[in-house]
Amino acid sequence: MAFNEGLESAAGEEVSGEEVLSDDFWELRLYVAGQTPNSVKAFANLKRICEQELKNRYVIKVIDLLENPQLAKGDQIIAVPTLVRKLPVPVKKIVGTLQDSERVLVGLDLRRQ
């Protein structure tokens, strides 16, 4: 599955990424509920944007709430898919399939509005 492959590659990048968790390091979590078309779309979009903008400076953790429902509370997840920027602080959330790259970049503070 593209989805799982994506997950693995994201995790792989975490390992291969720089050790230093500087301000320039991005920790992203993508909350999904099962492998729905929306989930897959969101992951693909996120992956694409990160590769373009944050190459080697990011890690994506995909959290499937169907498997770990208790994790929804911590990041106050209501909608899926939700992208949470854990690092750098402050926490940012972007809801949806991350269709619009510009909005995602604005949401992640990578672009000025």
Residue 10 touching another protein (CB under 8 A): no
* Residue with Cβ nearer another protein (14 or 79): 79
The CA distance from 73 to 52, in Å, is 31
The CA distance from 59 to 26, in Å, is 6
What is the DSSP track for 41-64?
A: HHHHHHHHHHHHH-TTSEEEEEEE
| Amino acid occupying residue 108 | L
Residue 96 touching another protein (CB under 8 A): yes
Structure tokens at 39: 């989930």
- Of the candidate spans 1-9, 21-29, 37-45, 53-61, the one that interacts with another protein by CB under 8 A turns out to be 37-45
Q: Which of 78, 87, 89, 111 binds another protein (CB under 8 A)?
A: 78
Binding stretches for another protein (CB under 8 A): 31, 33, 38, 41-42, 45, 65-66, 69-70, 72-73, 76-82, 90-100, 103-104, 106-107
